[in-house]
Every structure is written in C-alpha cells, then in structure tokens.
Amino acid sequence: MSLLHSFLENKKTAVILGHTNPDGDCVGSCLAVYNYLKDCFPQVDVTVYLEQPADKFRYLNGFEQIRTEMPADFQADGCICLDSGDRDRLGAFSGFLEGGGEVLCVDHHITNTRYGDKNVVEPEASSTCEVLFGLMDEEKISKETAACLYTGIVHDTGVFQYTNTSAKTMEIAGKMMAKGIDFSTIVSESFYQKSYVQNQVLGRALLESILFCDGQCIFSAIRKRDMEFYGVTSRDMEGIVEQLRSTAGVECAIFLYEKEFQEYKVSMRSKKKVDVSKVASYFGGGGHVRAAGCTMNGRMHDVVNNLSIHIAKQLEEQA
Ligand code: AMP
Ligand code: MN
Ligand code: MN
C-alpha cells in the first residue's frame, strides 16, 4: 500500500496545502490529491487551502472549492503539504502544522527540510505531480485527476524542456494523455497564453535586461511602481525569468520584482553550470539546481551584487 493510502486510513478530515504564490505544479498537485481523495476516500472530508491561484488554472476540477482564507478553527486529522520545501513556504497556512493532525509532505525540492511526520521527497522527480503519480493507484486516476497531474508536469518541466524531464516523466505524461485529457489546450492556455499586460511587463523586463559576466548572466527587475502602472501582481510575473534564461550564451538568469519597498522576490534559472539552489539557500530561500528562489531586502543594486558574487564564483570554478 502506498504511503498516501496508508496515511488516509482512519482519517476523517484532511487539509491539502501548497506554497505561497502557487504555480502550476502547486495548484496541479493540490487539486490532483483533492480529486483523487474525492474518488477513492469519499469518507474523508477534504479541503484545499491555497493563496488565490491564477485564473488560467480554473479548468482544473475543484478550483472553485479552493479556500483562500485561514479558518479560525484549523483542526484536521491529516495535513498533506505539497510542492513546499519548508514550513515557511506554506505562508499563512503553516498554522495547520500546529493543528494536531499528522503531516504528510510530498515534494521534489532538493532543499526540502523534511518537516512532515511522513515525507516523500524525490529531488530527481520533475515535479510534485510526478511524485504523486507514484503514490496513486494508476487505474483509480480519473480524467480530472489526470488533467491536474499533467498540468503540474507541464509547468515544472517548461513543457518537457528542462533537464528535470526524464523518460519516466514522459511515460507518466503519456499515461495521463491516455486518460482522455485535453492536453493541447492545457499547454496552450495554462502555459503559453499571456494576457496583454503580462506581455507588456515581459517586454519591459526584456527591454531593460542587462548582461554581465561576459554575457553568461542576465538580470532584469520590475519595480513596484511599474507593477502598479501596468496593474499587474505577482501572479503575472510567471515566465519572465524563463524568457531571460533562453537568451543565447546565458548560463544563469536572475529576475526580481519588488513585493514591498526594498523587498524583492528573486527568481533564478540556470542552464548547465550554476547550482542556483545553493545561491537561493544561502539567502534563506530554496528550490532546485536549475530553478530556485528567495526573498531579499535592501537596495536593488545591492541585492543583484550579492547574488552575482555567488554566481560568478560558481562560473569561475566551472571555467
Ligand atoms: P520561482 O522562481 O519562484 O518560480 O521558484 C523556483 C523554485 O524555487 C520553485 O521550485 C520554488 O518552489 C522554489 N522557491 C522559490 N522561492 C523560494 C523560497 N523563498 N524558499 C524556498 N524555495 C523557493
Ligand atoms: Mn512550485
Ligand atoms: Mn514543483
């Protein structure tokens, strides 16, 4: 019996949590478990708590049932934490960890701190959705659950582009396609499609980007006042750092946006040489070898300088 199944035995209530600023793998994994539980464990009263995810994920079954506010009474028999490497990543919902219930953590971040009572952490997996597939009975995966798992895999692999994609990833994606999901629409509308303002902000970030370290690094940032000007939020920043990374000759891309005055959300992506999870961990964040993030305070110039010292050091060691 898989750990997911044994965990749910004898549980009456369960909550499903993901990370702040939820991405495709986060929303996909939370709703995959939600749908799977509804089908296979109808006796368990299950609720998903997440910060409001982007509207583009509305096609996922269960999206409308997501609760976005922390309830006053947060008791549950079980708490399933997905795609979140440490307690802080759960944001306001980390209070559930103190709710008395047993905690199951399913994740793929190399920096995961194993904060659950039970932990299934597979850093080699492309996505939390890929890890979840291994915990589910394949024949019990419905078309709705399959659409959630496929979404997570597609988003965390950049549509099967990044080196976290393995033969196993493709096999699982194929099995999800065989469940009859609308894979083409999932890819085009949840991954590639952008709103007009999202494209404007992307364009602005590319226009103002700066190459350094002999063209091996690229940096760009969007300030709070510019976000206000375009009327965008953190949810509209997805994909910018990936576009910077795709610049020819670039090994490492850094993108920042200002959350509060002199408080920056940092995203880093690398190709082959730089371990960005080490850099992000040093500054209190985390992630994967080729994709990581953190939050940093201070003047933008100092933030970039501090990051670039670590990246340049790694590039020199590789040279
Ligand atoms: P992002 O740049 O926000 O898309 O994140 C890239 C990867 O690093 C994702 O897998 C995130 O879950 C992870 N990550 C981002 N920010 C943090 C953080 N502050 N702490 C830990 N992990 C993070
Ligand atoms: Mn994620
Ligand atoms: Mn993930």
Question: 27, 150 in Cβ contact below 8 A?
Answer: no
Average pLDDT over the chain reads: 97
Please tell me the number of Cα atoms within 13 Å of 263 on its side-chain side.
5
Six-digit token string for 4: 């997911």
Does the beta carbon of 304 sit less than 6 angstroms from any atom of ligand 1?
no
Closest among 245, 6, 266, 250 to 120, alpha carbons compared: 6
222-235 mean pLDDT: 96
User: Ligand 3 center to residue 152 CA distance, Å?
Assistant: 7
Residue ID of nearest Cα to ligand 1 atom 6: 292
pLDDT band at 75 (very low <50, low <70, confident <90, very high): confident
User: Ligand 1 center to residue 89 CA distance, Å?
Assistant: 9
Six-digit token string for 17: 């949590």
Q: Residue 305: pLDDT above 90?
A: yes
Residue ID of nearest Cα to ligand 1 atom 2: 267
Does the beta carbon of 267 sit less than 6 angstroms from any atom of ligand 1?
yes
Six-digit token string for 214: 């002999």
User: Ligand 3 center to residue 161 CA distance, Å?
Assistant: 15
Give residues whose Cβ lies within 5 Å of ion ligand 3.
25, 83, 127-128, 156
User: Ligand 3 center to residue 201 CA distance, Å?
Assistant: 24
**Residue 187: DSSP 8-state:** I
Encode pLDDT of 237-295 as tens digits: 999 999 999 999 999 999 999 999 999 999 999 999 999 999 999 999 999 999 999 99
Does the beta carbon of 89 sit less than 6 angstroms from any atom of ligand 1?
yes
Return the ligand number nearest the Cα of 279: 1
Q: For residue 85, what are the CA distances in angstroms to 92, 96, 235, 281, 310? A: 15, 16, 20, 11, 22
Q: What is the DSSP string of 262-282?
A: TEEEEEEEESSS--HHHHHHH
Distance CA 55, CA 46 (A): 22
Q: For residue 271, what are the CA distances in angstroms to 80, 133, 252? A: 32, 27, 6
Residue ID of nearest Cα to ligand 1 atom 18: 285
Distance CA 132, CA 127 (A): 9
DSSP bridge partners of 119: 105
* 302: helix, strand or coil: helix
CA 76 to chain centre: 24
